[in-house]
Structure formats: structure tokens, C-alpha cells
Amino acid sequence: MLMLMHVINMGHDVYKANDKVAEKNRKKLDKHQVFSVNVMGAIGSGKTTLIEEAIRQLKDKYKIAVIAGDVIAEMDSSRFRKLDVPTIPVNTGKECHLDAKLVEKALDEIDLDNTDLLLIENVGNLICPVDFKLGEHLRVVIVSVTEGDDIILKHPMIFKTAELAVINKVDIAHAVDVDAEKMRDDILSLNPNVPVILTSKHDWESLETWISFIELGVKEVQKK
Amino acid sequence: MHELSIACEILEQVMATATEHGATEVKHVTLQIGRLSHTNPEQLSFCFKAIAEDSIAKDADFIVEMIPPSLECECGYTGPIDEKQIQENCGFTSELLAYAAVMDCPICGKHARITGGRELIIKSIEIETENQD
């Protein structure tokens, strides 16, 4: 029997397929006037802590929901639930990032009519979440000084595509021999227009700056 | 490490197209990968072979074409980045950083928006079919 060879054109973009679901998520969030934040950053950068602080300060003013993505999501979820906000744990299993489909499923479990702000904690790492949009309004990357001041240039794309960059734990920068200002300069060299804020959980003023950024977004979306 | 889930997606898409065209074997899968995406072609190929073991795509080879980044600037420029600058940036420790560092408009020098270079496209497959004639 004669075998024939064919070339079949496909043109299927794997990331675009994710982007399409992300767009759907975004439309859904817009329709319900929910401002959503994708919080990315390495393990131990302080994502959960900074989200907790934002919840504490904003929960009397706005209705907040949280999606907690992690390899085992139950641990962070229980921290958020203690603050009395609806929390959806999303176990990613062996996966190193949240994707738009996982968020789409989680959105089904949230009462969006009764939500003003959705905080999404991504899986802790600086690489995998970059390529997967979720449909968020604000992409935040949190980096801590304990990661070393060369961490930014080692992970350019996450800082390049972030819409807000937070350098956390600056109170211990000296102890770990890191220059937080160098980190800020590195971020701005990659992404000159991104707002960069320096935070520490022990410095109330710095937390206020972080929280005011989120509140600004909530107000923006509610105006529409 | 998300190459495994991407390999699953690729296998699913490849098998759907191959079956639709009556393939008996998938010989090649041509992928286009953006230089700014975080996908490792070798790992992807390894994962693909592992999951395609029992399928007609088990011996398929990957052909990978890398896509350079492209930009859109407020001055009106749309097009590729300045490749010459990449060569000047060879002192950078990583290719990704070298690319990320030259995202300025090659015409006016302003910070430009990235419009391409983050793709992962299954461009085409080469399949074998039985001649029915």
C-alpha cells in the first residue's frame, strides 16, 4: 500500500486560547463591576500577608472575595477565611500557575453581584504565571528584599508586564545586605512607567500606599 | 515547569487534526515559540514524547521556529525590535534579559508596547495517510 505525506496547517496558539478565556472572565467581571487583582510573586515574598492587610483595611468599605491559588490552596485560604471574606481555594496540583480556565471555574462559585473587589493570589513563582492572563484588571508583582537584589534582572518578563510592582520586607533589607533602591532601579529599567512601592508589614504608611492603589482601582471600576 | 500541561494541549490539538485528516502517523509537529515566552522547547518535546507514547504521534519530531519580539510605539512604529541592539547586549547573562532590555522603539527610542514574541503556536503537522486509490 502506498503511503502519502501531507502537511496540514493548524495555526493554533496555545496562549491565545488562554487569552480568550481570560477576556471572557474580564467581561464577566466588568459586567458585575468587580475590580480584580492578580497578585504574583515568589514563594515567601509576602503575597498572602499583603492581601490580608488589604482585606483588613478595605472589608468594611467594600465587599471582597478571594481566589487562593496554590499547589495546596487550603492553607492560605484558611488565613483569608479568618478575615470573614468568601474564599475559593484553587488547587493547581502539579501546576505552577493559575490559568484563565481555573479562574473561570472559580468565578462560578463567587457571588459577583455581591462583590466589589476580587483578590487573586497566584501560585508562588516568578516564571510560570507570566504567560497566563486571568482576566484581571491589575497585574501586581510582589518581590521581597530577601530574594536578593539581582532577582529582578533574572526574571525580566514578570516585571516588564506588571502594572504595579511592590518591593516588600524593606525593613530587613540591611540585615540581608540588599539595596532596595537598586531593586527599584532595576524594575524601572525594564518597565519605566510602572509604579513601584516599597512596603513592610511593620510600616503602616507603606501599607497604606499599597492599599490605596487597590482602592483606586475599585473606585475606577465602580464609576463605569 | 508547565511544559507538561502545554504538551497535553498540543497533543490534544494535534490528534484532533490528524484524526480528522485520516492520519496513520504524525511525522512532524512544527511549533512557533515566541522568544519572550517561558517555554523550554527541549522540555516540551520530552513531555510530548512521554504522553504520546500510545498514539500515532509517538515518533513525531518537533520542528521549532523561534519568533522574535515585535513592538508597537505611540510614534506610530509597528514592527520588530532592533536585532542589532540584541547583539550589542550580548554581555547580558540571559537571552531573555537581552531581549527584554531592548523593548524601546527603534525609531524614536521611547518605551514601546510588546505586540509579539510571547506566542506558542502549533503551526502545522506533517502526517502520513494510506493511499485509498
Q: What is the pLDDT along chain A (224 residues), one digit of tens a residue?
A: 788 999 999 999 989 989 999 999 999 999 999 999 999 999 999 999 999 999 999 999 999 999 999 888 888 888 999 999 999 999 887 778 899 999 999 999 999 999 999 999 999 989 888 989 999 999 999 999 999 999 998 898 999 999 999 999 999 999 999 999 999 999 998 898 899 999 999 999 999 999 999 999 999 998 87
Q: How far is B67 from chain A (nearest CA, A)?
A: 13
- Which chain B residues touch A191 with a CB distance below 8 Å? 111
- For residue A13, is it within any domain? no
Q: Which residues of chain B have pLDDT under 70?
A: 1, 85-102, 132-133
Answer whether residue A167 is part of any domain.
no
Q: What percentage of chain B reaches a pLDDT higher than 90?
A: 50
Q: How many Å apart are CA A81 and CA A115, to the nearest integer? A: 15
From chain A, pick out residues whose CB is under 8 angstroms from the CB of B2: 95-97, 128
Q: Using DSSP, how many helices (H) and how many strands (E) does chain A show? A: 8, 8
Contacts of A130 in chain B (CB under 8 A): 38
B123 at interface of A, judged by CB pairs closer than 8 A = yes
Instruction: State the pairing for strand pair A35-41/A138-144.
Output: parallel
CA dist list (Å): A141 to A44, A120, A128, B76: 13, 12, 13, 30
Contact A214, A58 (CB under 8 A): yes
Question: Per the CB < 8 Å rule, is A95 touching B2?
Answer: yes
Give the nearest partner residue to A8 out of B96, B114, B127, using CB atoms: B127
Contact state of B128 with A9 under an 8 Å Cβ cutoff: no
CB atoms within 10 A of CB A114: 11
CA distance B11 to chain A (A): 11
- What is the DSSP code (8-state) at residue A145? G
Separation between Cα atoms, residue A154 and residue A114, nearest integer Å? 40
pLDDT at B96: 65
pLDDT computed for residue A166 by the predictor: 98
CA distances from A111 to A87, A115, B74 (A): 11, 7, 40
Q: B127–A17: do the CB atoms touch at under 8 Å?
A: no
Name, in order, each residue with C-beta under 8 angstroms of A127's C-beta and a sequence gap of 6 or more.
A96, A155, A158, B38
Contacts of B120 in chain A (CB under 8 A): 13-15, 131
Size of interface A-B (CB pairs under 8 A): 103
Distance of CA A45 to the CA centre of its chain: 12
**Chain A residues contacting B via beta carbons under 8 Å:** 1-17, 94-97, 127-128, 130-131, 153-154, 156-157, 160-161, 189-193
Partners of B118 on chain A (C-beta within 8 Å) are 15, 131
Indicate the DSSP class of residue A202: T
A chain contacts of residue B10, beta-carbon cutoff 8 Å: 14
Residue A217 falls inside a structural domain:
yes
Q: What is the DSSP-derived secondary structure letter of residue B111?
A: B
pLDDT value, residue B90: 52
Q: With contact defined as beta carbons under 8 Å apart, do A141 and A147 qualify?
A: no
In a domain, residue A162? The reply is no
Return the domain boundaries, chain B.
3-68+116-128, 70-115
Residues B55, B61, B67: CA angle, nearest 5 degrees: 125
Residues of chain B positioned with their CB less than 8 A from the CB of A14: 6, 9-10, 120-122
Instruction: Say how far apart CA A73 and CA A123 lie, in whole Å.
Output: 9
- How close, in Å, is residue A42 to chain B by CA atoms? 14
ipTM above 0.95, yes or no: no
CATH pick for B3-68+116-128 out of 3.30.565.60, 2.60.40.10, 3.30.2320.50, 3.20.20.80: 3.30.2320.50
> A111: domain CATH number?
3.40.50.300
Count the Cβ atoms, other than its own, within 10 Å of residue A82: 11
The total domain count for chain A is 1
Of B39, B56, B124, whose CA–CA distance to A7 is shortest?
Answer: B124
Please tell me the distance from the alpha carbon of residue A104 to that of residue B61, in angstroms, as a whole number.
Answer: 34
Helix residue ranges, H only, A85-202: 100-107, 151-154, 156-160, 180-190
Identify residue A165 by its one-letter amino acid code. Answer: A
Q: Does A168 fall in a domain?
A: no
Is residue A63 one of the residues assigned to a domain?
Answer: yes
Range of the domain at A126: 18-140+203-223
The answer to whether position A45 is within a domain reads yes
Q: Within a domain: residue A2?
A: no
Number of helices followed by number of strands (H, E) in chain B: 4, 6
